[in-house]
Amino acid sequence: MPFFLGITGASGSVIGARLAEELAKRDKVFLCLTKCARFIAQREGVKVPGAENITLLDEEDFSSPVASGSFRLKACIIAPCSMGTLARIANGISSNLIERAADIALKEGWPLVIVPRETPLNAVHLENMLKLASSGARIVPPVLTFYHNPKTIDDLVNFVVGRILDIIGVEHKLYRRWGHEA
Ligand SMILES: Cc1cc2nc3c(=O)[nH]c(=O)nc-3n(C[C@H](O)[C@H](O)[C@H](O)COP(=O)(O)O)c2cc1C
Protein backbone atom coordinates (compact mmCIF):
# COMPACT_ATOMS: atom_id res chain seq x y z
CA MET A 1 0.00 0.00 0.00
CA PRO A 2 1.27 3.50 -0.79
CA PHE A 3 2.34 6.18 1.66
CA PHE A 4 1.33 9.83 1.68
CA LEU A 5 3.96 12.36 2.74
CA GLY A 6 3.27 16.06 3.17
CA ILE A 7 6.11 18.54 3.60
CA THR A 8 4.99 21.92 4.92
CA GLY A 9 6.53 25.31 5.59
CA ALA A 10 8.57 24.60 8.71
CA SER A 11 12.29 24.38 9.12
CA GLY A 12 13.75 20.88 8.67
CA SER A 13 12.83 20.08 5.05
CA VAL A 14 15.72 17.60 5.17
CA ILE A 15 13.61 15.37 7.44
CA GLY A 16 10.83 15.19 4.84
CA ALA A 17 13.29 14.66 2.00
CA ARG A 18 15.15 11.86 3.84
CA LEU A 19 11.86 10.21 4.78
CA ALA A 20 10.63 10.35 1.18
CA GLU A 21 13.79 8.53 0.05
CA GLU A 22 13.38 5.82 2.67
CA LEU A 23 9.69 5.29 1.96
CA ALA A 24 10.29 5.18 -1.81
CA LYS A 25 12.72 2.27 -1.32
CA ARG A 26 9.78 0.27 0.01
CA ASP A 27 6.62 1.36 -1.81
CA LYS A 28 4.91 4.08 -3.80
CA VAL A 29 4.95 7.53 -2.20
CA PHE A 30 2.49 10.33 -2.88
CA LEU A 31 4.42 13.47 -2.03
CA CYS A 32 2.96 16.93 -1.64
CA LEU A 33 4.74 20.16 -0.68
CA THR A 34 3.09 23.44 0.21
CA LYS A 35 4.27 26.64 -1.43
CA CYS A 36 6.01 27.65 1.83
CA ALA A 37 7.67 24.22 2.05
CA ARG A 38 9.21 24.72 -1.40
CA PHE A 39 10.53 28.14 -0.39
CA ILE A 40 12.05 26.84 2.85
CA ALA A 41 13.53 23.74 1.19
CA GLN A 42 15.32 26.01 -1.26
CA ARG A 43 16.57 28.23 1.60
CA GLU A 44 17.80 25.16 3.47
CA GLY A 45 19.52 23.73 0.39
CA VAL A 46 17.26 20.68 0.20
CA LYS A 47 16.13 19.30 -3.14
CA VAL A 48 12.55 18.10 -3.66
CA PRO A 49 13.02 14.32 -3.68
CA GLY A 50 12.50 12.56 -6.97
CA ALA A 51 12.48 8.80 -7.56
CA GLU A 52 10.57 6.35 -9.69
CA ASN A 53 8.30 5.52 -6.77
CA ILE A 54 7.55 9.14 -5.91
CA THR A 55 4.51 10.88 -7.38
CA LEU A 56 4.50 14.63 -6.79
CA LEU A 57 1.08 16.10 -6.12
CA ASP A 58 -0.11 19.69 -6.32
CA GLU A 59 -1.33 21.04 -2.99
CA GLU A 60 -4.50 22.32 -4.66
CA ASP A 61 -5.34 19.11 -6.53
CA PHE A 62 -8.37 17.86 -4.62
CA SER A 63 -9.13 15.47 -7.50
CA SER A 64 -6.10 13.38 -6.49
CA PRO A 65 -6.90 9.84 -5.27
CA VAL A 66 -5.43 10.69 -1.84
CA ALA A 67 -8.24 13.22 -1.38
CA SER A 68 -10.68 10.32 -0.94
CA GLY A 69 -11.06 7.82 1.87
CA SER A 70 -11.90 5.11 -0.64
CA PHE A 71 -8.25 5.18 -1.76
CA ARG A 72 -6.22 3.16 0.73
CA LEU A 73 -2.95 4.41 2.26
CA LYS A 74 -0.55 2.62 4.59
CA ALA A 75 0.14 5.84 6.46
CA CYS A 76 -0.08 9.61 6.20
CA ILE A 77 2.91 11.56 7.47
CA ILE A 78 3.46 15.29 7.66
CA ALA A 79 7.13 16.09 8.18
CA PRO A 80 7.98 18.76 9.00
CA CYS A 81 4.59 20.16 9.99
CA SER A 82 4.16 23.92 10.40
CA MET A 83 2.05 25.29 13.23
CA GLY A 84 -0.35 26.64 10.61
CA THR A 85 -0.94 23.22 9.03
CA LEU A 86 -1.13 21.65 12.50
CA ALA A 87 -3.82 24.14 13.55
CA ARG A 88 -5.85 23.59 10.41
CA ILE A 89 -5.76 19.79 10.71
CA ALA A 90 -6.63 19.97 14.42
CA ASN A 91 -9.68 22.01 13.51
CA GLY A 92 -10.84 20.05 10.48
CA ILE A 93 -9.95 22.76 7.98
CA SER A 94 -8.93 20.93 4.81
CA SER A 95 -7.73 23.90 2.81
CA ASN A 96 -5.15 21.97 0.78
CA LEU A 97 -4.39 18.38 -0.20
CA ILE A 98 -2.08 17.74 2.77
CA GLU A 99 -4.71 18.84 5.27
CA ARG A 100 -7.35 16.84 3.42
CA ALA A 101 -5.17 13.70 3.42
CA ALA A 102 -4.61 14.10 7.18
CA ASP A 103 -8.32 14.63 7.77
CA ILE A 104 -9.04 11.42 5.85
CA ALA A 105 -6.44 9.46 7.82
CA LEU A 106 -8.17 10.57 11.03
CA LYS A 107 -11.67 9.71 9.83
CA GLU A 108 -10.59 6.35 8.41
CA GLY A 109 -8.41 5.47 11.39
CA TRP A 110 -5.23 5.17 9.32
CA PRO A 111 -1.86 5.96 10.90
CA LEU A 112 -1.29 9.72 10.93
CA VAL A 113 2.13 10.94 12.01
CA ILE A 114 2.69 14.64 12.58
CA VAL A 115 6.22 15.99 12.97
CA PRO A 116 5.66 19.50 14.37
CA ARG A 117 8.59 21.94 14.17
CA GLU A 118 8.49 25.07 16.27
CA THR A 119 10.18 26.35 19.38
CA PRO A 120 9.19 27.53 21.88
CA LEU A 121 5.66 26.14 21.77
CA ASN A 122 2.76 28.34 22.89
CA ALA A 123 -0.48 27.12 24.48
CA VAL A 124 -2.29 27.19 21.13
CA HIS A 125 0.31 24.87 19.57
CA LEU A 126 0.13 22.52 22.56
CA GLU A 127 -3.67 22.47 22.58
CA ASN A 128 -3.73 21.67 18.87
CA MET A 129 -1.25 18.83 19.40
CA LEU A 130 -3.35 17.46 22.27
CA LYS A 131 -6.47 17.64 20.08
CA LEU A 132 -4.71 15.66 17.35
CA ALA A 133 -3.21 13.12 19.75
CA SER A 134 -6.68 12.60 21.27
CA SER A 135 -8.04 11.99 17.77
CA GLY A 136 -5.49 9.24 17.09
CA ALA A 137 -2.57 11.09 15.48
CA ARG A 138 0.97 10.41 16.66
CA ILE A 139 2.92 13.56 17.46
CA VAL A 140 6.63 13.08 16.80
CA PRO A 141 8.61 16.29 17.38
CA PRO A 142 12.06 16.19 15.79
CA VAL A 143 13.88 16.49 19.11
CA LEU A 144 17.64 16.22 19.52
CA THR A 145 18.70 12.84 20.92
CA PHE A 146 22.20 11.90 22.06
CA TYR A 147 22.10 8.39 23.50
CA HIS A 148 22.88 6.91 20.08
CA ASN A 149 26.07 9.00 19.91
CA PRO A 150 25.36 11.10 16.82
CA LYS A 151 28.44 12.51 15.07
CA THR A 152 26.80 14.35 12.18
CA ILE A 153 23.61 16.19 11.32
CA ASP A 154 22.77 13.19 9.16
CA ASP A 155 22.87 10.99 12.27
CA LEU A 156 20.38 13.29 14.00
CA VAL A 157 18.09 13.37 10.97
CA ASN A 158 18.29 9.60 10.56
CA PHE A 159 17.24 9.14 14.18
CA VAL A 160 14.09 11.21 13.68
CA VAL A 161 13.30 9.51 10.37
CA GLY A 162 13.93 6.12 11.98
CA ARG A 163 11.49 6.90 14.81
CA ILE A 164 8.83 7.87 12.24
CA LEU A 165 9.42 4.58 10.39
CA ASP A 166 9.17 2.70 13.71
CA ILE A 167 5.74 4.19 14.33
CA ILE A 168 4.37 3.20 10.93
CA GLY A 169 5.84 -0.30 11.20
CA VAL A 170 8.59 0.00 8.59
CA GLU A 171 11.81 -1.95 9.26
CA HIS A 172 15.06 0.02 8.98
CA LYS A 173 18.61 0.35 10.24
CA LEU A 174 18.81 4.12 10.37
CA TYR A 175 19.97 4.34 13.97
CA ARG A 176 21.45 2.07 16.58
CA ARG A 177 18.83 0.99 19.09
CA TRP A 178 19.43 1.22 22.81
CA GLY A 179 20.63 -2.18 24.00
CA HIS A 180 21.84 -3.17 20.52
CA GLU A 181 25.54 -2.94 19.73
CA ALA A 182 26.64 -1.59 16.31
C1 LIG B 1 12.49 30.39 6.55
C2 LIG B 1 11.19 30.11 7.24
C3 LIG B 1 11.17 29.19 8.27
C4 LIG B 1 9.96 28.90 8.93
N5 LIG B 1 9.98 27.96 9.92
C6 LIG B 1 8.83 27.63 10.53
C7 LIG B 1 8.81 26.59 11.51
O8 LIG B 1 9.83 25.97 11.84
N9 LIG B 1 7.63 26.28 12.07
C10 LIG B 1 6.46 26.90 11.73
O11 LIG B 1 5.41 26.54 12.27
N12 LIG B 1 6.44 27.90 10.80
C13 LIG B 1 7.59 28.27 10.19
N14 LIG B 1 7.59 29.26 9.24
C15 LIG B 1 6.33 29.96 8.93
C16 LIG B 1 5.43 29.16 7.98
O17 LIG B 1 6.12 28.87 6.78
C18 LIG B 1 4.13 29.91 7.69
O19 LIG B 1 3.34 29.98 8.86
C20 LIG B 1 3.34 29.31 6.56
O21 LIG B 1 2.10 30.00 6.45
C22 LIG B 1 3.06 27.83 6.71
O23 LIG B 1 2.36 27.40 5.57
P24 LIG B 1 2.04 25.88 5.27
O25 LIG B 1 1.59 25.28 6.54
O26 LIG B 1 0.93 25.96 4.25
O27 LIG B 1 3.24 25.25 4.69
C28 LIG B 1 8.77 29.57 8.56
C29 LIG B 1 8.81 30.48 7.51
C30 LIG B 1 10.00 30.76 6.87
C31 LIG B 1 10.00 31.76 5.74
Predicted confidence pLDDT, tens digits, the chain (182 residues): 999 999 999 999 999 999 999 999 999 999 999 999 999 999 999 999 888 999 999 999 999 999 999 999 999 999 999 999 999 999 999 999 999 999 999 999 999 999 999 999 999 999 999 999 999 999 999 999 998 899 999 999 999 999 999 999 999 999 988 887 65
Ligand 1 pocket, mutate which of 40, 43, 117 (most atoms under 8 A from CB): 40
Which domains does the chain carry? 3-167 (3.40.50.1950)
82 alpha carbon – ligand 1 mean position (Å):
6
From atom 16 of ligand 1, which residue's Cα is the shortest distance away? Answer: 9
Q: Are 107 and 136 in contact (CB under 8 A)?
A: no
37 alpha carbon – ligand 1 mean position (Å):
8
- Cβ–ligand 1 distance for 97 under 6 Å, the answer no
Residue 109 and residue 95: Cα distance in Å, rounded? 20
Of 24, 2, 19, 43, which is closest to residue 115 (Cα–Cα)?
Answer: 19
- Cβ–ligand 1 distance for 40 under 6 Å, the answer yes
pLDDT for the residue 178 = 86
- Cβ–ligand 1 distance for 36 under 6 Å, the answer yes
Residue 128 and residue 89: Cα distance in Å, rounded? 9
- Cβ–ligand 1 distance for 64 under 6 Å, the answer no
pLDDT for the residue 100 = 98
Q: pTM of the entire structure?
A: 0.97
